[in-house]
A and B are shown apart, each in its own frame.
Chain A
């Protein structure tokens, strides 16, 4: 009997530990403050539609079985990401667990009210192939309020800054303030931008391209491609963010830490130049011909054969070429010198354009 008493105590204790950790603890520790970005049910005049009553219709009609109300990082086209504070007044929660239909987090104002109404009454007239049930049985008032509710959905969060520099670069910290105090460059001036342009051309253009389209000659061989600075997206970058990126590089790709090479002043000049590169629409680089040509940056050019150590040297035999390396163009003379102005065979990829960086050393070695 004694052992069963222990067992009974065990059942009770186990359970209460779990209740404590997963029910009580979140209630105590997790109290998100109202973010002021929840659904605004007062947005629509109650005389037009009662959005709060519409929410009850939404619950009653079980919309949450097929429609969720939270956006995830990977969701595209469903608006800004939600935060914990958005849901303070959402009881019972309508987060949902299945998406047979689209997410409704930011459904408000996406479609005209008349469209919403038509879609609720007969979904397939406006969305052929939809499997949404028809809610034609809703009374006029219910329908009106439900559409009012749908139109008030949305976290009204306008994203201005997707990214921000780390704390130590911003003036919120001691380090950031010191950095700002040391800064002598006016990053908005064209003089600084001109100065930055020189530094950029010497150091950055080899990967990022002369105009910043990400089409420098090195870009071809990089697994992670350099960004295209003409994208309007980069307009949101703050000076501090640009400076942080330039200084610390990017983990996981070949972008170096320039704080070990350039002085702080030089980096601010580069920032001033980078800020002038954004355009109203992105300049797309979709063809290899648009790559910054090597001759444009006035670097020595070598043929593929001279770069490849196995094919280099003066005793290169053209016959070896047909054996397997599939070079389409007839092999150029193997003795091309580094200073030759003859264009490289354009059909070869990668190694041709990466050649300049290593070529002199190879040439010497073989």
Chain B
């Protein structure tokens, strides 16, 4: 790990280790950090889920009270696991697509440490309830500034890498990465409202602009870019249509950003804003179906490969869940469905479908694909990958069905005006099933981490470095 110490001083060797210049080290370190925080974040989510079934499981420990766990869970899996994993993937994929090196590995590693510092800060503050009290934007002032800075540094690194490229044309994944890295830092800065104090409802409007666009302008766009990279690479097949992929890109760019207000459709915010949100939510079906057509046509005749190719299986599962998410989303954004379904666990199920079912799966696929190529070591155990897949997949299906059913029960309760005390008891079985599903998913994630650990540190003899198959990706 790192370069050989040159003996000049211990300090510089330590700096070389921490801020390594070795090719691929930034990507690898981002992946490892992402995995580390995923264990914390998902465990927090699991414990929070357990507290639904057993509310008195933990008493008198403020750090483990449900609301604090929930804050930390959301931030650890979004800012920690998914975002760090995304940056790691981009640090691997962008140089590969540009046939060049990352502009600055050292800068990448510095960003990685800054990001980890943010997560340590999040761990210390959120579990103690030091929050800004805004959903998805809980982090405090200093951490906000650090995240924004880290994002800008990542953007700089990627942009410079793309400027240094040795291929002429930009593949569609690069479009997605470029777009996301321009949009998301701005969305983040606007959405935090750290230094401004807006009247309540304006605060809510901006809050949900941010809350939805952390998905729309970051998790979706980078995730779809990763799928565009992984599917042709894993199947050794050219992308079905470049034109279609560009249509999807511009569709997402246009229709995703204004949808935020559909989270507060029934609050007294202006009707025209709600109308914009609902209409663009429905229009989102266009880019989504375009993107998925492209994926499925690329997979055509190669579906059998998912039996043996585990990263591909993760990627394909992810695209299937993406289809479900993106049909469900416009459906529940329409006024009358929202009238019935809002405020319930159905929405929580939908959020998990997007972040866990779709984007966590594609990130997992990316890690399983990229890590052996960065480190030159085969994954330690295919069996563990399979176990991980099934635990996560079945666990997620169980979570999705139990949350959705619980949501429908709650919806009926609200719609019929039945007091919470009465329907509260009827959804206990679903809370229980959700706890089970949480345990399965966390177990799967621990197997994942163990597998990566073994791959990197416990296997002294590396196998022959697999040649990263440079497929003919139709540019």
**Which of chain B's residues have a CB closer than 8 A to the CB of A88?**
199-200
Contact yes or no, A62 B129, CB < 8 A? yes
Pick the contact of B51: A7, A91, A97, A133 (CB < 8 A): A133
| A72 at the binding interface (Cβ < 8 Å) | yes
The distance in angstroms between the C-alpha atoms of A76 and B414, with both chains bound, is 8
Contact yes or no, A70 B267, CB < 8 A? yes
The distance in angstroms between the C-alpha atoms of A19 and B258, with both chains bound, is 8
Contact yes or no, B420 A84, CB < 8 A? no
Within 8 A of B (CB), among A29-81: 29-32, 59-66, 68, 70, 72-77
The distance in angstroms between the C-alpha atoms of A19 and B254, with both chains bound, is 11
| A23 at the binding interface (Cβ < 8 Å) | yes
Contact yes or no, A129 B425, CB < 8 A? yes
Pick the contact of B131: A59, A93, A127 (CB < 8 A): A59
| A111 at the binding interface (Cβ < 8 Å) | no
| A82 at the binding interface (Cβ < 8 Å) | yes
Contact yes or no, B250 A22, CB < 8 A? no
Contact segment of A134-142, A211-219, A243-251:
A134-142
| B397 at the binding interface (Cβ < 8 Å) | no
Which one of A64, A93, A135 has the greatest number of beta carbons of chain B within 10 Å?
A93
Pick the contact of B258: A21, A29, A62, A75 (CB < 8 A): A21
**Which of chain B's residues have a CB closer than 8 A to the CB of A87?**
199-201, 204, 268
| B170 at the binding interface (Cβ < 8 Å) | yes
**Which of chain B's residues have a CB closer than 8 A to the CB of A66?**
67
**Closest Cβ of chain A: how far from B250's Cβ, in Å?**
7
The distance in angstroms between the C-alpha atoms of A143 and B4, with both chains bound, is 58
Contact yes or no, A92 B258, CB < 8 A? no
**Closest Cβ of chain B: how far from A145's Cβ, in Å?**
14
Within 8 A of A (CB), among B396-418: 410, 414-415, 417
| B70 at the binding interface (Cβ < 8 Å) | yes
**Closest Cβ of chain A: how far from B225's Cβ, in Å?**
13
| B198 at the binding interface (Cβ < 8 Å) | yes
Contact yes or no, A23 B209, CB < 8 A? yes
| A83 at the binding interface (Cβ < 8 Å) | yes
Contact yes or no, B414 A99, CB < 8 A? yes
Q: For residue A138, which residue of chain B has the nearest CB? A: B62
Interface 0/1 of A1-28, CB less than 8 Å to B: 0001001101110110011011100110
**Closest Cβ of chain B: how far from A152's Cβ, in Å?**
15
The distance in angstroms between the C-alpha atoms of A1 and B6, with both chains bound, is 43
Contact yes or no, A62 B253, CB < 8 A? no
Contact yes or no, A93 B207, CB < 8 A? yes
Instruction: Other than A22-B276, A30-B273, give 7 A-B pairs with Cβ distance below 8 A.
Output: A7-B175, A11-B183, A30-B270, A87-B199, A92-B132, A93-B203, A95-B264
The distance in angstroms between the C-alpha atoms of A32 and B199, with both chains bound, is 9
| A130 at the binding interface (Cβ < 8 Å) | yes
| B107 at the binding interface (Cβ < 8 Å) | no
The distance in angstroms between the C-alpha atoms of A7 and B119, with both chains bound, is 34
The distance in angstroms between the C-alpha atoms of A301 and B204, with both chains bound, is 64
The distance in angstroms between the C-alpha atoms of A131 and B190, with both chains bound, is 36
The distance in angstroms between the C-alpha atoms of A31 and B269, with both chains bound, is 10
| Residues A23 and B190 in contact in the complex (CB < 8 Å), given A77-B417, A94-B133, A134-B56 | yes
| Residues A98 and B200 in contact in the complex (CB < 8 Å), given A26-B273, A61-B65, A84-B269 | no
**Which of chain B's residues have a CB closer than 8 A to the CB of A22?**
205, 209, 257-258, 260-261, 273, 276-277
**Which of chain B's residues have a CB closer than 8 A to the CB of A99?**
343-344, 410, 414, 420
| A162 at the binding interface (Cβ < 8 Å) | no
Q: For residue B422, which residue of chain A has the nearest CB? A: A129
**Closest Cβ of chain A: how far from B332's Cβ, in Å?**
12
| B473 at the binding interface (Cβ < 8 Å) | no
Contact yes or no, B170 A70, CB < 8 A? no
Contact yes or no, B268 A83, CB < 8 A? yes
Q: For residue A60, which residue of chain B has the nearest CB? A: B129
Interface 0/1 of B27-63, CB less than 8 Å to A: 0000000000000000000000001100110011110
Contact yes or no, B204 A10, CB < 8 A? no
Instruction: Give 9 pairs: A residue, B residue, CB < 8 Å, sorted on A.
Output: A62-B66, A65-B66, A87-B268, A92-B207, A94-B133, A97-B347, A98-B345, A124-B55, A131-B52
| Residues A63 and B268 in contact in the complex (CB < 8 Å), given A93-B204, A101-B420, A130-B424 | no
| Residues A129 and B421 in contact in the complex (CB < 8 Å), given A93-B204, A137-B65 | yes
Contact yes or no, B273 A70, CB < 8 A? no
| B197 at the binding interface (Cβ < 8 Å) | yes
| Residues A91 and B347 in contact in the complex (CB < 8 Å), given A21-B258, A63-B67, A131-B52 | no
Interface 0/1 of B256-289, CB less than 8 Å to A: 0110110110111110010011000000000000
**Which of chain B's residues have a CB closer than 8 A to the CB of A73?**
266
**Which of chain A's residues have a CB closer than 8 A to the CB of B348?**
98
Task: Write the residues of chain B forming the contact surface with A, with a CB cutoff of 8 angstroms.
Answer: 51-52, 55-56, 59-62, 65-68, 70-71, 129-135, 170, 175, 178-179, 182-183, 186, 190, 193, 197-207, 209, 250, 253-254, 257-258, 260-261, 263-264, 266-270, 273, 276-277, 339, 342-345, 347-348, 410, 414-415, 417, 419-421, 424-425, 431
The distance in angstroms between the C-alpha atoms of A211 and B314, with both chains bound, is 71
**Which of chain A's residues have a CB closer than 8 A to the CB of B425?**
129
Pick the contact of A74: B52, B263, B277, B339 (CB < 8 A): B339
**Closest Cβ of chain B: how far from A203's Cβ, in Å?**
36
**Closest Cβ of chain A: how far from B355's Cβ, in Å?**
15
Contact yes or no, A30 B269, CB < 8 A? yes
**Which of chain A's residues have a CB closer than 8 A to the CB of B59?**
134, 136
Q: Which 10 A-B pairs have the closest CB atoms?
A: A62-B67, A87-B200, A90-B200, A59-B133, A76-B417, A18-B257, A60-B129, A99-B343, A84-B268, A93-B204
Which one of B52, B135, B200, B263 has the greatest number of beta carbons of chain A within 10 Å?
B200
The distance in angstroms between the C-alpha atoms of A132 and B431, with both chains bound, is 13
**Closest Cβ of chain A: how far from B109's Cβ, in Å?**
28
Q: For residue B130, which residue of chain A has the nearest CB? A: A60
**Which of chain B's residues have a CB closer than 8 A to the CB of A65?**
66-67, 70-71, 135
| Residues A26 and B205 in contact in the complex (CB < 8 Å), given A60-B131, A89-B200 | yes
Pick the contact of A15: B183, B198, B419 (CB < 8 A): B183
The distance in angstroms between the C-alpha atoms of A12 and B178, with both chains bound, is 11
Q: For residue B67, which residue of chain A has the nearest CB? A: A62
Interface 0/1 of A91-126, CB less than 8 Å to B: 111110111111000000000000000000001100
Contact yes or no, A68 B343, CB < 8 A? yes
Contact yes or no, B199 A134, CB < 8 A? no
**Closest Cβ of chain B: how far from A59's Cβ, in Å?**
3
Contact yes or no, B66 A64, CB < 8 A? no
The distance in angstroms between the C-alpha atoms of A127 and B424, with both chains bound, is 11
| Residues A15 and B197 in contact in the complex (CB < 8 Å), given A72-B266, A75-B414 | no
Contact yes or no, A91 B203, CB < 8 A? yes
**Which of chain B's residues have a CB closer than 8 A to the CB of A23?**
190, 205-206, 209
**Which of chain A's residues have a CB closer than 8 A to the CB of B202?**
26-27, 30
Q: For residue B343, which residue of chain A has the nearest CB? A: A99
**Which of chain A's residues have a CB closer than 8 A to the CB of B51?**
131, 133
**Which of chain B's residues have a CB closer than 8 A to the CB of A7?**
175
The distance in angstroms between the C-alpha atoms of A326 and B199, with both chains bound, is 67
